[in-house]
């Protein structure tokens, strides 16, 4: 069962899955719609009962030199299962 509650340092939701996600799906990355757009790869989301795939998409960085760090599922240190660490822009 997933636990969802407020994160201590953020106003976002903490998502914990009971097992690791399936392997990532292979995505065909289309040409970018603009020179400044960055590809954000698809990833698995835990819905509380099953895994659901979110496809990748392009997004404009908040600043020209910003780079995208992809989100990932990591083993949860304080509880059993895996916790989602969202992607974010650097720079």
Residue 1: which residues within 8 A CB-CB, separation 6 or more? Answer: 18, 48
pLDDT category, 14, cuts 50, 70, 90? confident
- pTM equals 0.78
| pLDDT tens-place string over residues 34-60 | 888 999 999 999 999 999 999 999 999
pLDDT category, 67, cuts 50, 70, 90? very high
Beta bridge partners of 44: 53
């Amino acid at each position: 069962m997933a636990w969802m509650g407020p994160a201590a340092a953020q106003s976002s939701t903490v998502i914990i899955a009971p097992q690791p996600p399936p392997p990532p799906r292979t995505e065909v990355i289309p040409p970018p719609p603009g020179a400044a757009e960055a590809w954000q790869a698809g990833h698995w989301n835990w819905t509380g009962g099953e895994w659901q795939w979110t496809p990748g998409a392009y997004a404009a960085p908040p600043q020209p030199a910003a780079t995208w760090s992809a989100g990932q599922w990591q083993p949860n240190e304080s509880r059993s299962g895996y916790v989602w660490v969202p992607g974010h822009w650097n720079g």
